[in-house]
Chains A and B, each alone.
Chain A
Amino acid sequence: MWRWINKVGRSRRERRLARRASPTFYIPMFIELLKKIGWAITTLIGVSLIVFILLYMLPADPARTVAGERADPATIAAIRHQLGLDRPLPVQYAYFVRDIMTNNLHSYRNNDLVMSAIWRRFPATLELALAGLAIWLIVAIPLGLLTAKYSGSVFDRASLFLGLIAISIPAFWLGRIFQHYLGYQWGLFSVGGGGANLWSLPLPALTLGFAGAAYYARLLHSNLGSVMNQNYIRSARARGVSEAKVLSKHALRNAIIPVIAVLGLDVASLLSGLIFTEKIFAWPGIGSLAIDSILNLDVPMIMGTVLFSALMVVVANILVDVAYIFIDPRLRQSK
Chain B
Amino acid sequence: MIMRFWGNARQKYFCTIVIFFVAIFITGCARQPRPPRILMLSAQSDVSWLDPAKAYDTSSIPFVRILYRGLVDYGDGANIVPAVAARWKISPDGKTYTFYLRKDARFQFDQNGNQPGRRVTAEDFRYSIERILDPATASDGMTFYYNIAGAQKWSEERSKPSTKVLSDHVPGIVVPNDDEIIFHLNYPDATFLNYLAMPFVYAVPQEWVEKLDRAGETLNEHPNGCGPFQMKEWIHDRKLELVKNRYYYDPALPKCDRIIDTFGGDDVLHLMRFELGDIDIQNLEDAAPPDFMRMTDSAKWQPYTQHAPMMDIRYVALNCEMKPFDNKLVRQAMNYAIDKSTFTRFLGKRIEVAHGVLPPGTPGYNPQLKGYDYNPQKAKVLLKQAGYPNGFTVTLWYSPTAVEWYGKAAQLIQADLAKVGVTVNLKAVTYAELKTAAGKRHNIQMSLMGWLQDFPDPSDFLDVLFNGEKITDTSSNNRAFYNNPKVNKLLDAAGIETDQAKRLKLYQQAEKIIVDEAPWIFLLHTERYVVHQPWIKGYALHPMWSARYEYVEVDK
**Chain A residues within 8 Å of B, Cβ to Cβ:** 58-62, 64-76, 78-79, 82, 109-112, 117, 120-121, 134, 138, 142, 176, 179-180, 183-184, 187-196, 198-199, 201-203, 205-206, 242, 244-245, 248, 278-284, 288-289, 292, 294-297
User: Given A64-B475, A109-B48, A189-B28, are A117 and B270 neighbors across the interface (CB < 8 Å)?
Assistant: no
A281 touches which one: B32, B46, B49, B265 (CB < 8 A)? B265
For the complex, give the distance between the alpha carbons of A288 and B135 in Å.
32
Q: Which of B329-337, B427-435, B540-548 contacts A (4 or more CB under 8 A)?
A: B427-435
Closest to B265 in A: A282
For the complex, give the distance between the alpha carbons of A6 and B275 in Å.
76
A70 touches which one: B2, B3, B159, B477 (CB < 8 A)? B477
Closest to B21 in A: A138
Q: In the assembled complex, which residues on chain B have CB atoms less than 8 Å from the CB atom of A138?
A: 16-17, 20
User: Given A190-B31, A191-B269, are A295 and B401 neighbors across the interface (CB < 8 Å)?
Assistant: yes
Q: List 20 A-B contacts (CB under 8 A).
A: A60-B436, A64-B435, A69-B140, A71-B142, A72-B475, A73-B474, A78-B138, A79-B138, A138-B16, A142-B13, A187-B31, A188-B28, A191-B276, A193-B42, A195-B264, A242-B2, A284-B238, A284-B263, A288-B264, A295-B430
Q: Kindly state whether residue B378 has any CB partner on chain A within 8 Å.
A: no
The residue among B45, B437, B473 with the most chain A CB atoms within 10 A of its own CB is: B45
B265 touches which one: A193, A201, A295 (CB < 8 A)? A193
For the complex, give the distance between the alpha carbons of A189 and B2 in Å.
41
User: Given A71-B143, A120-B236, A292-B45, are A78 and B263 neighbors across the interface (CB < 8 Å)?
Assistant: no
For the complex, give the distance between the alpha carbons of A82 and B432 in Å.
19
Q: In the assembled complex, which residues on chain B have CB atoms less than 8 Å from the CB atom of A206?
A: 24
**Chain B 216-233 interface 0/1 with A at a Cβ cutoff of 8 Å (1 = within):** 001010000000000000
The smallest beta-carbon distance between B146 and chain A, in angstroms, is 9
Contact: A70 with B6, CB < 8 Å?
no
Closest to A196 in B: B238
Contact: A179 with B272, CB < 8 Å?
yes
Contact: A191 with B138, CB < 8 Å?
no
Closest to A75 in B: B142
Q: Kindly state whether residue B278 has any CB partner on chain A within 8 Å.
A: yes
The smallest beta-carbon distance between B489 and chain A, in angstroms, is 21
Closest to B460 in A: A70
Contact: B266 with A280, CB < 8 Å?
yes
User: Given A110-B48, A191-B276, are A74 and B432 neighbors across the interface (CB < 8 Å)?
Assistant: no
For the complex, give the distance between the alpha carbons of A74 and B159 in Å.
9
Q: In the assembled complex, which residues on chain B have CB atoms less than 8 Å from the CB atom of A289?
A: 237
Q: In the assembled complex, which residues on chain A have CB atoms less than 8 Å from the CB atom of B31?
A: 187, 190
Contact: B238 with A195, CB < 8 Å?
yes
Contact: B265 with A279, CB < 8 Å?
yes
Q: In the assembled complex, which residues on chain A have CB atoms less than 8 Å from the CB atom of B248?
A: none
Q: In the assembled complex, which residues on chain B have CB atoms less than 8 Å from the CB atom of A278?
A: 264
Q: In the assembled complex, which residues on chain B have CB atoms less than 8 Å from the CB atom of A111?
A: 54, 218, 220
Q: Kindly state whether residue B501 has any CB partner on chain A within 8 Å.
A: no
Contact: A120 with B237, CB < 8 Å?
yes
User: Given A117-B236, A179-B272, A193-B269, are A199 and B435 neighbors across the interface (CB < 8 Å)?
Assistant: no
For the complex, give the distance between the alpha carbons of A281 and B270 in Å.
10
User: Given A59-B436, A75-B142, A289-B237, are A284 and B27 neighbors across the interface (CB < 8 Å)?
Assistant: no
For the complex, give the distance between the alpha carbons of A187 and B20 in Å.
20
Q: Kindly state whether residue B373 has any CB partner on chain A within 8 Å.
A: no
A184 touches which one: B238, B276, B475, B477 (CB < 8 A)? B276
Q: In the assembled complex, which residues on chain A have CB atoms less than 8 Å from the CB atom of B45?
A: 292
User: Given A138-B17, A295-B401, are A245 and B435 neighbors across the interface (CB < 8 Å)?
Assistant: no
Closest to A205 in B: B24
The smallest beta-carbon distance between B208 and chain A, in angstroms, is 18
Closest to B28 in A: A189
- Nearest 3 A/B pairs, CB to CB: A282-B265, A282-B264, A68-B140
For the complex, give the distance between the alpha carbons of A274 and B28 in Å.
21
Q: In the assembled complex, which residues on chain A have CB atoms less than 8 Å from the CB atom of B472?
A: 72-73
The smallest beta-carbon distance between A18 and chain B, in angstroms, is 28
Other A-B contacts than A192-B269, A280-B266, 20 sampled, CB-CB below 8 A, are A60-B429, A69-B451, A69-B477, A73-B473, A73-B474, A75-B142, A78-B159, A82-B138, A187-B276, A190-B31, A191-B272, A193-B264, A195-B239, A201-B24, A202-B25, A202-B28, A245-B2, A282-B263, A295-B401, A295-B431
User: Given A69-B477, A138-B17, A179-B272, are A190 and B265 neighbors across the interface (CB < 8 Å)?
Assistant: no
